[in-house]
Amino acid sequence: MALKDFAKTVSEKIKLKERAIAGRVGDKIPYTAINGVFDDWTDKNICWWTNGFFGGMMWQLYGATREEIFKQRAEGIEKKLDRNFLDYYGMDHDSGFKWLTTAHANNLLTGNKESLNRFLLAAANLAGRYNPIGFIRAWNDDSGNNAGWSIIDCLMNLPLLYLASETSGDPRFKVIAMHQADTAIKHFIREDGSARHIVILDPNTGYFVDEPGGQGFGRGSVWTRGQSWALYGFTTSYLHTKEARYLDTAILCADYFVEHIPSNGRIPVDFKQPATPDYTDSCAAAIASSGFLLLARTLRESGKKKTLAEKYEAAAEKMLCYLVEMDSDWNPDTDNILKSCTAAYHDKDHEYPIIYGDYYLIEAIFRITGEETYLS
């Protein structure tokens, strides 16, 4: 079956399942599903970094179908996230994950001015985390011990800043985003194209201090979700700036990923993890698939490197086929789609549903069918 025909079939499965889910979950903000039922982080932690993804799924479905139930669910989540703005310690480097998928999507699809206000508030807060040495700080703390910590994930939040510059006409946001992307090229990406998860810099000088193992197997390893963030995130920086160094780095990171995809398309938590325990992270596969498709589209639109575009599309197809056929639950009576996501190699729990896996699977499929609402 051709890739587009495959994606059309999957798109219909997604819509069937998500209609059932939207009708029963109310305004839950899920992170995972327990026995097929979404949990709710509304009161557990309204500031959790994944809290925008279910809203983002609903906006993707609304953009594809214009069915009111999806809009209602997404709007309910967006309003709940207003509490996050009032929590200093809950505002961190992940504002893009929370408000690109909710407030930006709402404003893009409906023109909602309150959502535009939320989007700009989130961008201003993210810009406020900028250290003029040249990076965006990751996590908050009282002691200052985290003042020099930055992570590869932040690349995916930079579109919040690029879009804020484009919306407001204020170049500060774009400059900050580019400084973070340049720091990522310098300190996060190894010569072979593999990505570090966490880099600790001296907050006073910007000098490289350390490379903790983060959520991968360990120091010097290659956390697959981080590699996915890298290839996807540098692509978005190129799209907003047209600076060739970002596209070149996206290709470098993408080539590393392609070279390490197992023959069956199943993605491990870390490309350097031991043979046992051999944990799976379907979230990384979904994110990488969407990123590969965006990168391939970008290359095709530039009129160059058609062979590379075909390679990345083939990589996405291999992973998506594995996810759809081997690791998805299409029963409308259960809430999650993907079954085998892993947040971190050394966590207690592995291979369970995580909401951002479903989001990026839907985004990837809709990229192929042309139903995608582009939020980055």
CATH number at residue 313: 1.50.10.10
Domain membership flag for residue 375? no
Distances from the Cα of 326 to the Cα of 268, 292, 339, angstroms: 14, 20, 9
User: Residue 302 has what pLDDT?
Assistant: 85
Domain membership flag for residue 132? yes
Domain membership flag for residue 240? yes
Domain membership flag for residue 330? yes
User: Residue 144 has what pLDDT?
Assistant: 87
Helix H or strand E encompassing 285: helix 282-302
- Averaged pLDDT in 10-residue chunks for the chain of 376 residues: 92 98 95 98 98 98 98 98 97 97 98 98 98 96 93 98 98 98 98 98 97 95 98 98 98 98 98 97 98 97 87 98 98 98 98 98 98 97
* CB half-sphere exposure, 212, CA atoms < 13 A: 11
Domain membership flag for residue 127? yes
Domain residues for 286? 3-369
Record the tokens describing residue 286, joined without a space: 């979904």
Domain membership flag for residue 374? no
Q: Are 212 and 272 in contact (CB under 8 A)?
A: no
Q: Name 317's Cβ contacts closer than 8 Å, sequence gap at least 6.
A: 3, 6
User: Residue 290 has what pLDDT?
Assistant: 98
Distances from the Cα of 215 to the Cα of 50, 165, 171, 279, angstroms: 16, 32, 34, 13
DSSP state of 135: E
> Considering its fold, how many domains does the chain have in total?
1
Beta strands in the chain (DSSP E): 33-34, 37-38, 130-131, 135-136, 149-151, 198-201, 208-210
User: Residue 1 has what pLDDT?
Assistant: 60
Domain membership flag for residue 321? yes
Domain membership flag for residue 93? yes
